[in-house]
């Protein structure tokens, strides 16, 4: 019931943020979410004795988001990642005591900036599409991801018998995954009927499947990090829900999937 209540509160809030608020407000909220989620990922890695340069990584993630938001002078998202790599490698040579620790610090600094910072920035890239297009795409994204998470949990709890990834997340089941994907398709079709009429029925079904699978994959990817570091949650920021990264993990791969699906198959229609 808690997940249903969360979705009932979250969806209207997202609708107001996306449809009514100016784009800069959405970008500001996204920036806070990206910074916090990236920081939580660094904190997880530190549980495994990693020593990343966290502040550098968070700043690079925000710079990547700014490049996706096209704020100010245009620059490629590769630039802050390159700068982060060079800076982390140079700093590690001064602040770490052995080549293995230097390499570990550099790699653990780069990973969250890519895994979280780049991935979550695609939501900002979607918001920059002109007119109502970016708003509609974002609402389809959130509808599908929330529907996947909610249905996968309840279907898996009620009928789950076959574990999906027992070494990573023992409670997730194939039955729950199928339920989540079916719910995602239903959410995409709802989006077509409700507000995104230019999205065809076929594209809604395909996107529902792809976004459902991407949401599950993102959830499992974060579970790999938590399992490897011995953590149950990314943080205790949200009582009963874990950290912000625990709530945003399903968005990690779904945002890029929707962005490139639009560019490849919908942009010319």
Q: Check whether 72 has a pLDDT greater than 70.
A: no
Residue 135 pLDDT grade (very low, low, confident, very high; cuts 50, 70, 90): very high
Residue 71: what pLDDT?
Answer: 61
What's the pLDDT score for residue 75?
Answer: 79
> What average pLDDT does the segment 68-85 reach?
85
- List beta partners, residue 163: 173
CA distance 95 to 182: 50
All residues at 6 or more sequence positions from 31 whose CB lies less than 8 Å from its CB, including other chains: 62, 65
DSSP designation for 208: H
For 197-214, what is each residue's pLDDT tens digit?
889 999 999 999 999 999
Can you tell me the mean pLDDT for 46-57?
95
Beta bridge partners of 238: 242
The pLDDT value given to residue 269:
65
Q: Does the reported pTM lie above 0.85?
A: yes
- The beta-strand segments (E) located in the chain are 163-165, 169-173
Q: Exposed, middle or buried by CB within 10 Å (0-12, 13-18, 19+), for 45?
A: buried
Is pLDDT larger for residue 233 or for residue 122? Answer: 122
- Residue 236: its pLDDT value, please? 77
- pLDDT, residue 61, reads 97
- Please give the C-alpha separations between residue 185 and each of 14, 97, 143, 190, in angstroms, as whole numbers: 20, 52, 10, 9
Provide, rounded to the nearest whole percent, the portion of the chain with pLDDT above 90.
77
- Distance of alpha carbon 195 from alpha carbon 189, whole angstroms: 10
What was the pLDDT predicted at 32? 96
Neighbours of 162 (CB within 10 A): 11
pLDDT, tens digit, 9 for 90 and up, residues 178-200: 999 999 999 999 999 998 888 99
Query: Is 70 exceeded by the pLDDT of residue 4?
Result: no
Contact 54, 39 (CB under 8 A): yes
């Amino acid at each position: 019931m808690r997940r249903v209540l969360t979705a009932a509160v979250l969806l209207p809030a997202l609708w107001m943020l996306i449809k009514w608020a100016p784009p800069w407000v959405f970008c500001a909220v996204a920036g806070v979410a990206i910074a916090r989620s990236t920081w939580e990922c660094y904190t997880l890695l530190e549980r495994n004795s990693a020593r990343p340069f966290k502040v550098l990584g968070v700043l690079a993630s925000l710079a990547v988001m700014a490049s996706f938001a096209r704020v100010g002078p245009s620059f490629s998202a590769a630039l802050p990642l390159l700068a982060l790599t060079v800076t982390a490698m140079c700093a590690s040579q001064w602040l770490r005591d052995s080549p293995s620790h230097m390499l570990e610090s550099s790699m653990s600094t780069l990973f969250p900036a890519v895994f979280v910072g780049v991935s979550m920035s695609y939501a900002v890239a979607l918001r920059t599409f002109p007119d109502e297009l970016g708003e509609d795409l974002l609402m389809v994204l959130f509808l599908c991801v929330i529907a996947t998470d909610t249905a996968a949990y309840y279907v898996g709890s009620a009928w789950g018998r076959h574990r999906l990834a027992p070494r990573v997340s023992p409670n997730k089941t194939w039955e729950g995954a199928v339920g989540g994907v079916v719910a995602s398709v239903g959410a995409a079709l709802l989006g077509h009927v409700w507000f995104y009429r230019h999205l065809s029925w076929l594209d809604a079904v395909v996107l529902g499947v792809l976004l459902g699978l991407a949401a599950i994959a993102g959830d499992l990817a974060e579970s790999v990090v938590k399992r490897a570091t011995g953590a149950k949650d990314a943080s205790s920021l949200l009582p009963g829900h874990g950290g912000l990264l625990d709530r945003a993990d399903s968005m990690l791969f779904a945002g890029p999937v929707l962005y490139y699906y639009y560019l490849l198959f919908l942009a010319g229609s």
